[in-house]
Structure 1
Amino acid sequence: MDRGSSLNIMYANTLDEMGVDQTNLYPIRAPFHSIMLGRHAIPLGQINLPVTFEDQSNYRTETLTFDVVGFPRTFHAILGRPCYVKFMAVPNYTYLKLKMSGPHGVITVGTSFQHAYKCEVESCGHAATVVASKELATLREEVAKKMPDAKKSIGSFELAEGSKEILVDPSSFEGKKAGIRTVLSYE
């Protein structure tokens, strides 16, 4: 459960384990962000899958759209806000419960704190592996390129490219100037 996610995510390994052929994916080129610091991810595609909560006596099934990603996983899928809207479900993160209405009463889906802790430990282990990977080295190089030059004195000021100086008060004789950016980058 991820109340912050604006999409449902499924990992390619999960699809393989479910026996779903990846040729069933339909293409999507829209990237999403915040998976890894400073990076965006482009999904392998999207897929619509039926999702069922509870058992035969009281169940609810809806078809959800998942963005399928091909990077390593610590979960099988991430259910975001689109899932909660479709099921009209209410998540409670304190008690690790998800509640929704069913044909024969309220459906409650939950887990134990021990299982949640185990998943958290696995997730931290996975994050540590990613941190130690080559991709982190690339990230560090990119950040280092964007770092200010340490040789410049503190307090010195240089206009950025695409900037111009204008007089703060054209009627004043002091000649105080300010730098104004004339173009904005996409970033």
Structure 2
Amino acid sequence: MVAPATTTYLKWSKTPITFDQPDHPAHVATPGRQALVVNPVVGGTRLTKVLMDGGSGLNILYAETLRGMGIPMSKLSESNMRFHGVMPGKKANSLGQITLDVVFGESKNYRTEKLTFEVVDFHSAYHAILGRPAYAHFMARPCYVYLKLKMPSPKGMITVTGNRQRAEECLQKG
């Protein structure tokens, strides 16, 4: 006899996430031009140019960023990950993986999750890329028109506003 499956809900799934007029910035010059660039605390360091990329299946940390954070390469665990599409025309091998705490929010309302990053050794305008694994861990939802990211927390909704100036700088550096 077959029994019906019991639904197991993910943590935070009861919390609705909406975007409406109070989220709307004063001015949206070119909707969709700029990427969602945020500044979470990663491994105890505030990173100011982190790309939220819902199209990426990986969280990526650049070796240059890792060195800047004062984390030695000896902390990486082995990874045989090969991927492409991060840099046009380039295939990349991961130097290794590292799991770090990632914090969004402010001192009165924040969330911390452990995320695993593939570390790569090529130049980027960004410090890191947070992909679908990060969205899933935080149960976060983006609004690319408003350049906002929302996620539930024990003390209510966290709204992270993307930095338009840094997004534009990263776009120019390409």
Which TM-score tier does this pair reach, normalised by the shorter chain?
0.5 to 0.7
* TM-score normalized by the length of structure 2: 0.67
Letter in 2 for 1:29: N
The one of 54, 65, 70 equivalent to 2:116 is 65
Instruction: State the Cα RMSD in Å.
Output: 1.2
1:1-187 alignment to 2 at 5 Å?
A: 1-123=52-174
Say which one has the larger Rg. 1
Q: Distance in 1 between matches of 2:72 and 2:165?
A: 33
Letter in 2 for 1:121: Q
Q: Distance in 2 between matches of 1:15 and 1:112?
A: 22
Q: Distance in 2 between matches of 1:119 and 1:36?
A: 14
Question: Which ranges of structure 1 fall in alignment gaps of 5 or more residues?
Answer: 124-187
Structure whose residues are more often helix by fraction:
1
Equivalent residue for 1:171? none
Letter in 2 for 1:110: T
Alpha-carbon distance, 1:110 to partner? 1.4
Letter in 1 for 2:125: T
Q: Distance in 2 between matches of 1:114 and 1:32?
A: 29
Question: Which ranges of structure 2 fall in alignment gaps of 5 or more residues?
Answer: 1-51
Q: Percent identity?
A: 52
Extract structure 1 runs of 4+ deviating beyond 2 A: 35-39, 111-115
How many equivalent residue pairs? 123
- Structure with the bigger RCO (C-alpha within 8 Å, sep 6+) is 2
